[in-house]
Amino acid sequence: MNRIVERFAKLKRENKKAFVVYIGAGDPNLEATRQLALAFDRAGVDVLELGVPFSDPLADGLVNQLAAQRGLESGTTPPKLLETVAAIRRESQIPIVFYIYFNLIHKVGMEQFIADAVKAGVDGLLVLDLPPEESDNYEAQMAKAGLCNIYLIAPTTPEARMEKIVKRGAGFIYYISREGVTGMQTKVASNLTEQVAKIRAHTALPIAVGFGISNPEQAREVAKEADGCVVGSAVVNQIAQLGKSPELVSKLGAFVKSLADAVKSI
């Protein structure tokens, strides 16, 4: 069974919520990405999202744009990132999702990219700029390979379209709790309960909520409403501040554990 599907099923049996972390791959370098993945696994992270560095990350706010730039500067490419995933797999079975722009897949060829991802040990893809309406071939190849194609739902998604999108997803649905690009916020979106209920009416897939969650209190608040909580920019921001410090992995591990513990306390 796919690791993402397996993890959410296990959490459901245990009546627990999922904690998902996003980082920019190769920030500050791929060895740090490998070490962080292992530290996050120990800290209680259920799914790791790796942002594949891209020169035009249009869905990302400044914090994650800068992470993508640092990833590119450290020489991170999709083939090198796949090698890093394979290295992580030698020590950990943490579910891994690539947060990726379609151009990077198209350049290699969809079938080849998916095959390479499976071989390395990737569990799912979240393609930011591939609309579900144009995804028939992609979805078929992902299903055949046993990978989860994860889709985004936004606060502005009309309910009729939401219904169509969730029927095509696999693994979990990622609900973006705010309009606009990624980034830290001071409080959780006020209409979260209502929006999650609306999505739940159309799918049995777990719903993970992200965009803007920056501390344990917010993570706990989101986990009460959803099946999972996604934290990205707050973690990426700490990576930016710590840079190549020898304390990067230990400090990030401790920060992420505080968030994971909050989510698991529900």
From CA 149, how far away is CA 160, in angstroms rounded?
20
pLDDT in tens, 125-148: 999 999 999 999 999 999 999 999
What is the average per-residue pLDDT within 42-68? Answer: 95
What is the average per-residue pLDDT within 184-213? Answer: 87
pLDDT tier, 59 (very low <50, low <70, confident <90, very high otherwise) = confident
Catalytic residue among 60, 123, 225, 227: 60
Is residue 60 among the annotated active site residues? yes
Share of the chain above pLDDT 70, in %: 95
Is residue 49 among the annotated active site residues? yes
Which residue segment(s) compose the domain that 90 sits in? 3-264
Catalytic residue among 49, 221, 225, 227: 49
pLDDT tier, 191 (very low <50, low <70, confident <90, very high otherwise) = confident
Give me 228's structure tokens.
């999972």
φ and ψ at 82, to 5 degrees? -65, -35
Strand partners, 231: 21
CATH number of the domain where residue 17 is located: 3.20.20.70
Strands 148-149 and 96-100: unpaired
Q: What is the DSSP letter of 53?
A: P
From CA 215, how far away is CA 237, in angstroms rounded?
12
pLDDT score for 7 = 98
From CA 54, how far away is CA 181, in angstroms rounded?
16
Share of the chain above pLDDT 90, in %: 91
Number of domains in the chain: 1
pLDDT tier, 61 (very low <50, low <70, confident <90, very high otherwise) = confident
Quickly count: other Cβ atoms within 10 Å of residue 59's Cβ.
15
3-state helix, strand, coil in the chain (%, to 5): 50, 15, 35
Tell the residue number behind the tokens 């700029």, with chain if given.
129
Is residue 178's pLDDT more than 90?
no
pLDDT in tens, 220-248: 999 999 999 999 999 999 999 999 999 99
